[in-house]
């Protein structure tokens, strides 16, 4: 399962748990389901943040590699 699919999965589960919590007449069960919904959302947020950070690192790595290539090509040119 990809991270995007996992994120959507956790958000859907959170929505289900929240709807069930609202439908419960038992206060303890309702609270447990609300806590579960919060945990699912927290997991989805963590995955999203992780994905953004990974993407950011990948972009920075690419920029750094391009800068090194430019430096190398400038060094290898014959001076006039």
Asked whether the beta carbons of 41 and 14 are under 8 A apart, the reply is yes
Tokens coding 75: 């060094």
Report the predicted TM-score, pTM, of the whole model to 2 decimal places.
0.65
The per-residue pLDDT for 79 is 60
Asked whether the beta carbons of 47 and 2 are under 8 A apart, the reply is no
- Answer whether residue 80 shows pLDDT above 60: no
| Residue, of 16 and 74, whose pLDDT is higher | 16
Inter-CA distances, 69 with 9, 23, 38, 62, Å: 41, 61, 47, 11
- The per-residue pLDDT for range 16-63, each reduced to its tens digit, is 999 999 999 999 999 999 999 999 999 999 999 988 888 877 777 776
Residue ranges of the domains in the chain?
3-76
- The per-residue pLDDT for range 2-28, each reduced to its tens digit, is 777 999 999 999 999 999 999 999 999
């Amino acid at each position: 399962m990809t991270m995007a699919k996992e994120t959507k999965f956790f958000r859907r589960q959170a929505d289900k748990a929240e709807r069930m919590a609202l439908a419960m007449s038992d206060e303890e069960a309702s609270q447990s389901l609300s806590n579960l919904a919060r945990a699912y959302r927290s997991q989805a947020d963590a995955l999203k943040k992780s994905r953004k950070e990974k993407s950011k690192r990948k972009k920075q790595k690419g920029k750094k590699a391009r800068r090194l290539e430019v430096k190398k090509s400038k060094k290898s040119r014959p001076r006039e």
